[in-house]
A and B are shown apart, each in its own frame.
Chain A
Amino acid sequence: MNRIQQLFADKQEDILNIYFTAGYPNLEDTEPTILALAEAGVDLIEVGMPYSDPLADGPTIQESGTAAIRNGMTLDKLFDQIASARQHTEIPLVMMGYFNQVMQYGEERFFRKVKEVGVDGLILPDLPVYEFEQFYRDQIESLGLSVSFLITPQTSEERIRQIDKLSKGFIYMVSNSSITGAKKEITQAQLDYFNRINAMQLDNPRLIGFGISSHETFRTACKYANGAIIGSAFIKALRDGKDVHTATIEFVGKIRKSEVGSRK
């Protein structure tokens, strides 16, 4: 079992997964952010690999990525930062990026390096299910890494079943058809979608992401799935905050509210 699988074996509710862009706001903020998130009591961390052309992302994540690249962020640098952070925490880590970055690094070399620095899973939103199965699944699984695929309100039942079979960690439920950082409130149509997925009794746990930004939306997501993923709202907090540590502790405190501490 990797750390993600262990997490879901131990805990099925109120999972808080936070995304941030590596090397943002400053190049050397990656490790302090991971450690602050772990200290604040989040359950899982998604480390974003900054990319020049992030098709699935809204302006907040795009801008953080552009800034991180300008700061000098590279994959090699990121692997070093993660390896260093890993010496101080056992929190489950997922790397999220676009497949072109993986191809340039060399697919096999990338997957091995990911494992070596202590990352547990990958989210590669533009890696098609077909190519994953044909070319990469065996290697990724033999390394014990979890790949999370996305599903949306438009994803067919047949495809969701297929994705459930291929997933070995959690399924990323995109809350509605949009890029990251959209919408504030959760609509009835979204609740219907959450209920529909719940009724499917999938094997993998599900986290709801895209547009989760507050205590309220986090609570709603937790009612309908095993937890939620927050990205753009946290990046804004880092951008506007005093320093990484203070901003992180405050942000997670606001999302968790009463729960904070009580679970520790």
Chain B
Amino acid sequence: MIGIDEKGYYGEFGGAYIPEMLHPNVEELRKAYVGIWEDEAFQKEFRELLRDYVGRPTPLYYASRLSAKYNANIYLKREDLCHTGAHKVNNTIGQILLAKRLNKKYIIAETGAGQHGVATATVCALMGMPCIVYMGEIDIERQAPNVARMRMLGAEVRPAKSGSRTLKDATNEAIRHWINHPQDTHYIIGSVVGPHPYPDMVARFQSVISEEMMWQLQEKTGKPDPDIAIACVGGGSNAAGTYYHYLNKEHVRLIAVEAAGHGVNSGESAATSVLGTRGIIHGSRTLLMQTPDGQIVEPYSISAGLDYPGIGPMHAHLIASGRAEAVSVTDDEAMQWTYYLSRMEGIIPALETSHAFAALDHIEYKPGDVIVINLSGRGDKDLNTFITHYDKYND
């Protein structure tokens, strides 16, 4: 059985390695989250918002040209069609409803590429709650359109100026803010990372992805299970949602696609499962990229949503136990796939998502296998990067 134990561990990974100052906040969440999640009124409100506001269920689309080319039955789970353009909003809807039930008045979040920041700013606007988003100073420069979107939505974007001034430091700053404001603030974390109960809570909110996949596949193929499920992994939230209802169905292969950057051994990579070692990041015992002395290092990927030095504890466990197969995909492959998918299927994917597609070139499968790729987000936010590289990849 793959699941979380009562102390918040998936196998040896997880837990809550947090300073005492955070204990009351995290403990309050831990005690409340399962009850809230299982509450009928919560489920009703959550499902209604997912349907009417987010636009769920998202389609499961049979990609016929791609299927013919790869001699498989390839389905795309269209999370890119969610309001705000990625799966991130499934989680922020869940967490804002939870924050309201805990009587929280203020919301904070961290963001790297800005997708989670936008999804958080959106639900805060929806609920009329003040919102502060921490974002690394360097990412604020790199992701200007999403900074503008967050500001449009009324959120305050605060630069994280410590350390390497990217996602990991934005997360540190959000946690420090939470320490300083323990009573009335909820921290909406953006992936299946952080101290228990966050990884499990975010996985539950994202589990709607595989929940829908099951009945959609049943309709289309006569079976609820695919042979292979593929998702990209930054922290791992879209992958957690894609795998969730298949975790204990061993006949479904789970493929976790990480960003190799310039190559796994180039010194500029974010392939955590290959380069990472056991340690603690943001309160969770997991795999992370660090020096032999335990200093956390800054990863690299062309995609700002995948350059996180850690990986959610669920994925560390899935990979370490052999339940999931990890695949590393370079910047170059991801860029090629962005153009390829745009021309093959008329869908411009987010750069993070392009990594998931490139796994098709790495894995072995039987002709005719049913393969679901989670299309976690759309590429609008990456247009500047695409334009810069247009000549190189447009042949």
Contact = CB atoms under 8 A, between A and B. Distances in A.
Contact of B21 (A101, A130, A174): A174
Contacts of A101: 293-294
B283 A126 contact: yes
Size range of the chain B interface in the assembly: 20 to 34
Interface stretch (B50-58, B117-125, B168-176): B168-176
Interface string A45-75: 0000001110110110011001001000011
B280 interface: yes
Contacts of A178: 21, 179-180
Interface stretch (B11-19, B135-143, B201-209): B11-19
A128 B21 CA distance: 12
B292 interface: yes
**Most chain-A CB neighbours within 10 Å: which of B16, B17, B18?**
B17
B3 to A, nearest CB: 19
B255 interface: no
B179 A179 contact: yes
Interface stretch (A24-32, A82-90, A146-154, A196-204): A146-154
B24 interface: yes
Nearest to A98: B280
A103 B278 contact: yes
Interface string B180-218: 101000000000000000000000000000000000000
A163 to B, nearest CB: 9
B279 A104 contact: yes
A53 B163 contact: yes
Interface string B284-318: 00000010111111000000000000000000000
A104 B172 contact: no
Nearest to A127: B17
A51 to B, nearest CB: 7
Given A98-B280, A100-B290, A177-B21, A130 B182 contact: no
Nearest to A155: B20
A152 B21 contact: yes
Contacts of B23: 152, 154-155, 159
Interface residues of A, number: 39
Contacts of A125: 19-20
Interface string B2-41: 0000010000000111111101100000000000000000
A127 B285 CA distance: 11
Nearest to A183: B180
Given A53-B281, A75-B293, A126-B280, A174 B180 contact: no
A174 B20 contact: yes
Contact of A179 (B7, B176, B282, B292): B176
A52 B163 contact: yes
A59 B292 CA distance: 25
A3 to B, nearest CB: 25
A66 B281 CA distance: 17
A150 B279 contact: no
Given A104-B290, A155-B23, A62 B180 contact: no
B162 A59 contact: yes
B64 interface: no
Interface string A154-190: 1100010000000000000010011100100000000
B296 to A, nearest CB: 5
B163 A177 contact: no
A126 B294 CA distance: 14
B15 A128 contact: yes
Interface string B51-85: 00000000000000000000000000000000000
B176 to A, nearest CB: 5
A148 to B, nearest CB: 11
A99 interface: yes
Contact of A99 (B21, B163, B280, B296): B280
Given A66-B163, A100-B290, A179-B176, A56 B21 contact: yes
Nearest to B20: A150
A239 to B, nearest CB: 16
Contact of A104 (B176, B283, B294): B294
Given A99-B280, A100-B280, A177-B182, A151 B20 contact: yes
A150 B15 contact: no
A101 B279 CA distance: 8
**Most chain-B CB neighbours within 10 Å: which of A75, A150, A179?**
A179
Contact of B172 (A53, A63, A128, A155): A53
B336 interface: no
A125 to B, nearest CB: 4
A131 interface: yes
A104 B292 contact: yes
A150 B175 CA distance: 17
B22 to A, nearest CB: 8
B179 A99 contact: no
Contacts of B277: 104
Contacts of B16: 128
Given A104-B279, A149-B20, A130 B7 contact: yes
Interface in A105-153: 105, 125-128, 130-131, 149-152
B20 A100 contact: no
B21 A52 contact: no
A68 B21 CA distance: 25
A131 B280 CA distance: 13
9 contacts: A52-B295, A53-B172, A100-B279, A104-B293, A126-B17, A128-B17, A150-B20, A155-B23, A159-B23
7 closest Cβ pairs, A-B complex: A104-B294, A150-B20, A101-B294, A56-B19, A154-B24, A125-B19, A52-B295
